[in-house]
Structure 1
Amino acid sequence: MAVAAAIACVAILLPFAYLVVRVAEDGGIAVGAIITTRSAVLLARTLAFGAVVTGGAILVGVPLAWITTRTNLAGRRVWTIVHALPLAIPTYVAAYAFLGAYAPRGLVYTLGRLIAPIAQLPDLTGFFGAAFVLTCATYPYVFLATRASLIRLDPSFEEAARGLGLSPGAVFRRVIVPWTRPAIASGALIVALYAISDFGAVALLRVDTFSRAIYLQYQASFDRAAAAALALVLAGLAMAVVELDARTRTRARYFRIGSGASRPGGAASLGRWQVPAQMLLGAVALFSLGIPLAVLAYWAITAIRFQADFGRLLTASVGSLQAASLTAIVATLAAAPIAIVSARSSGRFGALIERTSYLGYALPGIVVALSLVFFAANYAFWLYQSLGLLVFAYTIRHLPQAVGTLRAVILQVNPHTEEAARSLGRSAVGAWRDVVLPVVWPGIWTGAALVFLTTMKELPATLLLSPTGYRTLAVLTWQAASEGFFAEAAIPAFILVVASIPPLAILLRGESSGRPVGE
């Protein structure tokens, strides 16, 4: 298992090898690009932006996960799908949609005028506007990871707390949050890495961060060394974020010692808070999903009136589904040994393996893609412009989503159950397959769903690595939107959302098929 984890992490380090080679080609230019006042300002702004977005995602995602799993909320399953769907909307599409909605005579402006006279809406561009859009797009990472962990939590802990007279709010603060800390941390880590590496939304909303600077440097192809140097700084920032996450974790156990409850826990009654809870879920869904979809629907209807190319859309849909499905399978298989080693090993090797797995997610997609182009052109030409190379790039980018959720649920499994199985004659693989695997299914399904959803909207790697003639919905959306054809971009963007519903339904079915982890 350790060997498999090490092999997966070596593959992840390929983009960094490419950056080192580029920087070594012209060290003077690289150092000059780093040691500037502008680089210091970019670093501070990127750190602040990542912190604001991550904090917002936690404040939104954790309460929603608790409400949809541990209360008698009406329509919990529907609300779960609704609050996972924002992951299917590319951030650059969400930014376009919000800019259109907030424009004069836009959706938000028009609805606001119906409520009260409005001369001008607050400017959505800038630091806080971009942070708001990114929070709306990324809180599902925390929501889904926390939800999968809550489903596995032994209900006897909450019952004991309620039996001692604690209110539902106190149970949430003193039982739920401490015991779901690994899941919350894994989701927050993904959000932080996503925020510091995102380009589309921050560029459209006029926020100058490291990722935008890297893209601009790569566009000036004569200065690749400076771009590589900035990318290495971003990678260092990602390593610092991962290290901070590791240092803030406790050494607490997240499994029950002794026999657990093989039954679902009783749902906390919301009582008079039923309506406020529904209003909260509806308000979050309005901004994260309702407004973008309403704008996309308007643009899509406009495009259909002008005879959209449905044959091209079908080809792109098949291409997106094929690439996303293969990546979800490969990433989940690659994540398993990494998650097992990092969760079960208390030494430096396990920590190093886990931290390395997150690094590919912090680099902009164009850096990962260019590194693999360099690798294929020089060492494996038979892979160049193949679907396999594209899936490899996707896996490097989105592996942390599978690792984080799977590791969180493995931490909730008592390792003594594996030891007991092995003492009865099971092999290590057999014990994991028969004892642990049925328990961690929710984490596997959640990780695979997250990889699938985010791969569907991946853009830079697709543009550079896809085989000749290979189209995806993300590429069609970007090509139309970048040329100002918002109506034409709306149809493939809308299909992205619709195509995300089946895997989310499978995710929910997989969540309900497991059993609590206290056994």
Structure 2
Amino acid sequence: MSSDVRRIELGGLGALWRSRAMGPGRAAAAGTVLIILLTASPLAALLLSVFTGGMKAFSILADSSMLWLIARTTLLGALATLWAMILGLPPAWILTRTNLPGRRILLAVAVLPLAIPPYIGAFTYITLLGPVGWVNTVSQAMGADGPVVNIYGLWGGIFVLGLFTYPYILLMAGSALRGSDPALEEAARAVGLGPIDAFRRVTLPLLRPSLLAGALLVFLYALSDFGAVSLLRVNTFTTEIFHQLNTRFDQRSAAVLSTILVFITAMVLVAQRGSLGRRGFVQRRSGVKPPTIYPLGRWKVPALCCTYIVLGGSVFLPVALLFYQTGSPMSLLHTLIAGQRFLWNSLWTATVAATVASGLGLFVAYLAQRRQGLAGIFLTSATQLGYAVPGTVLGLSLILLYNAYLPWVYGTAAMVILGYLLRFLPQAVQGSTAALVQVDSSLEEAARSLGRSGWQALREVIFPLIRPGIAAGWMLVFISSMKELAATLLLRPAGFDTLPVRIWIASIEVDYAGAAATSLILIAITAVPLFLVTRRDTTLSQLD
């Protein structure tokens, strides 16, 4: 074939490709605008509601209790994060860097608190450590003068939130420990440092990015939590926002409080980014051997005790209490039959939200990884808003927006799905991104050189390779949507209850048997996909 003919054919293929690329290009632009509007408009509506209310809207800031509310909320988040670090870091090292018997099974069990929402944990510990709980009942029967322990209040909130969010620390630190370079620790040992000093002076500083990422997740979760703190009677921003909406019916005051909480969250995110700065934390190079597995020897029993104490407080004890409070298998079966409608509401809304989020997450991840332009940057930043904004704030923002501009959507189940979608879209984006970065772009280019369009290359070549990451993101969004309480309480239409809503209502009404049975159903449903997500080491790091 002559060079002229070859140039003509190549030019024809190039023209054909350019003509085909116009469609996807316009679709990408339209999709980018749509997602940015979808994710940013609720926050814009919140800010508009605050600043159009005049100075009267800010009168709540003059309340002397505002500083105490800010201090209490931030203290709750900081101490819950510290407690989660204390609970999560030792098991992370024990289960990834030692020869502890059964460490793979224990690691899978250690992740289970992510399937137990903190409001369920608060409910179980109220029955154990409340003023009329089992511990106080037994102690008073033995002659104690009044309650010896009280789970209600700030310290109870810190205890419960840290106990059921420590897996974020464990997963982040465990992933970093598995990827650490053993040569660094060996060099520290060679200069005379003991195991503890080597960990403190070499390994721990290199874990800083992972620990900060896990700590950020715990802190943001503590700031945004509503269910546990409301049951434990801790007055925070989320409970005060809910009070302003559902008791005083004051949307503007709730909007002001929400804006302050968003501002606190933004400052935390900026501080976390600034704390890492431009430091380098790379420790793995090509050709290094796997991390060292240390024999425990005489420390095997203490390590087992440490691990089982953490798992006992966060998994075994709460689940055992739920089974005891349920009463009998027939009671559990009766609750399941009577609550079919609530179970169905939870399942179908979570399924729809996870499916839509997976599609949008793939779109965002593809633009960010393959196009690497301003559209990808804007999309990635916009999708992070929902996860950084607490459920109560997101619910209020959607109420303000859709009640004013799309009233035909307001008051329907679509609002619940939209809240889930905006709240947990980052998890779907993360799952697709983690899978895409492992696929060489040359595979897509090869498919295009063979005449495939951009959509065909994505469907026939890229999608089969990244399907596990998309599935992991789908399951994470599904789990999170199944557990979500605050946004559901605000956005659900009248009579549209989900399993979390029924648990919260039963707890408020002191129907402990009904709350326990419903909690077991919710845990069982969320535990199955959680096990699937954590089945491989490559998916463990996607839980952030």
Aligned residues: 505
Q: State the partner residue of 1:86.
A: 113
Aligned partner of 2:226 among 199, 206, 216: 199
The yes-or-no answer on 1:475 pairing with 2:511 is no
Matches within 5 A, 1:214-229: 214-229=241-256
> For 1:72, what is the secondary structure of its paired residue?
coil
Q: State the partner residue of 2:522.
A: 496
Deviation at 1:487, TM superposition (A): 1.0
Q: State the partner residue of 1:15.
A: 42
2:165 and 2:186 map into 1 onto residues whose CA distance is 32
Matches within 5 A, 1:276-425: 276-301=302-327, 304=330, 308-335=334-361, 356-380=382-406, 383-384=409-410, 388-401=414-427
Q: State the partner residue of 1:76.
A: 103
Out of 222-231 and 369-378, give the one that drifted further. 369-378
Q: Deviations over 1:31-78 (max 9, x none)?
A: 111233221221122122211112222232233233323322222232
Does 1 or 2 have the higher relative contact order (CA < 8 Å, sep 6+)? 1
Q: Which amino acid aligns with 2:296?
A: L
Deviation at 1:250, TM superposition (A): 3.5
Deviation at 1:490, TM superposition (A): 0.9
Classify 1:71/1:335 alpha carbon distance in 2 versus 1 (closer, same or farther; 3 Å). Answer: farther
Deviation at 1:174, TM superposition (A): 5.3
Q: State the partner residue of 1:125.
A: 152
Q: Which amino acid aligns with 1:44?
A: A
Deviation at 1:480, TM superposition (A): 1.7
Aligned partner of 2:535 among 498, 509, 515: 509
Q: Deviations over 1:178-206 (max 9, x none)?
A: 55544433322221111112222223323
Q: State the partner residue of 1:235.
A: 262
Q: Which amino acid aligns with 1:158?
A: P
Q: Which amino acid aligns with 2:112?
A: L
2:248 and 2:297 map into 1 onto residues whose CA distance is 61
Q: State the partner residue of 1:95.
A: 122
2:491 and 2:132 map into 1 onto residues whose CA distance is 40
The yes-or-no answer on 1:37 pairing with 2:64 is yes
The yes-or-no answer on 1:245 pairing with 2:293 is no
Structure 1: any 5+ residue segments left out of the alignment?
A: none
Q: State the partner residue of 2:19.
A: none
Structure 2: any 5+ residue segments left out of the alignment?
A: 1-24
Q: Is the 8 A contact 1:145 1:186 kept in 2?
A: yes
Q: Is the 8 A contact 1:242 1:358 kept in 2?
A: no
Q: Deviations over 1:84-121 (max 9, x none)?
A: 2222223233222212101467444578899x996643
Out of 471-480 and 315-324, give the one that drifted further. 315-324
Classify 1:103/1:53 alpha carbon distance in 2 versus 1 (closer, same or farther; 3 Å). Answer: closer
Classify 1:140/1:323 alpha carbon distance in 2 versus 1 (closer, same or farther; 3 Å). Answer: farther
Aligned partner of 1:187 among 199, 203, 214: 214
Out of 362-371 and 452-461, give the one that drifted further. 362-371
Q: Which amino acid aligns with 1:67?
A: I
Classify 1:122/1:220 alpha carbon distance in 2 versus 1 (closer, same or farther; 3 Å). Answer: closer
Q: Deviations over 1:404-447 (max 9, x none)?
A: 7887x699x79xx958878989899979x9899979967x7765
Aligned partner of 1:27 among 43, 54, 57: 54
1:264 and 1:338 map into 2 onto residues whose CA distance is 34
Q: Is the 8 A contact 2:118 2:228 kept in 1?
A: yes
1:301 and 1:284 map into 2 onto residues whose CA distance is 26
Q: State the partner residue of 1:135.
A: 162
Q: Deviations over 1:255-310 (max 9, x none)?
A: 6786346x865533223222222211111122222332232212211694598343
Classify 1:112/1:213 alpha carbon distance in 2 versus 1 (closer, same or farther; 3 Å). Answer: same
Q: Is the 8 A contact 1:97 1:295 kept in 2?
A: yes
Q: Is the 8 A contact 1:81 1:504 kept in 2?
A: no
Q: State the partner residue of 2:82.
A: 55
TM-score (norm 1): 0.80
Matches within 5 A, 1:257-272: 259-260=286-287, 265=291, 267-272=293-298
> For 2:488, what is the secondary structure of its paired residue?
helix
Q: Is the 8 A contact 1:405 1:446 kept in 2?
A: yes
Q: Which has the larger radius of gyration?
A: 2
Matches within 5 A, 1:451-490: 451-466=477-492, 470-490=496-516
Out of 312-321 and 490-499, give the one that drifted further. 312-321
TM-score (norm 2): 0.77
Classify 1:227/1:383 alpha carbon distance in 2 versus 1 (closer, same or farther; 3 Å). Answer: closer
Matches within 5 A, 1:150-161: 150-151=177-178, 153=179, 157-159=181-183, 161=185
The yes-or-no answer on 1:162 pairing with 2:152 is no
Q: Deviations over 1:200-246 (max 9, x none)?
A: 22233232222221111112454211111111111111111111111
RMSD: 4.4
Q: Deviations over 1:323-345 (max 9, x none)?
A: 33443444455456767888999
Percent identity between the two aligned chains: 34
1:342 and 1:37 map into 2 onto residues whose CA distance is 46
The yes-or-no answer on 1:64 pairing with 2:88 is no
> For 2:235, what is the secondary structure of its paired residue?
coil
Deviation at 1:492, TM superposition (A): 1.0
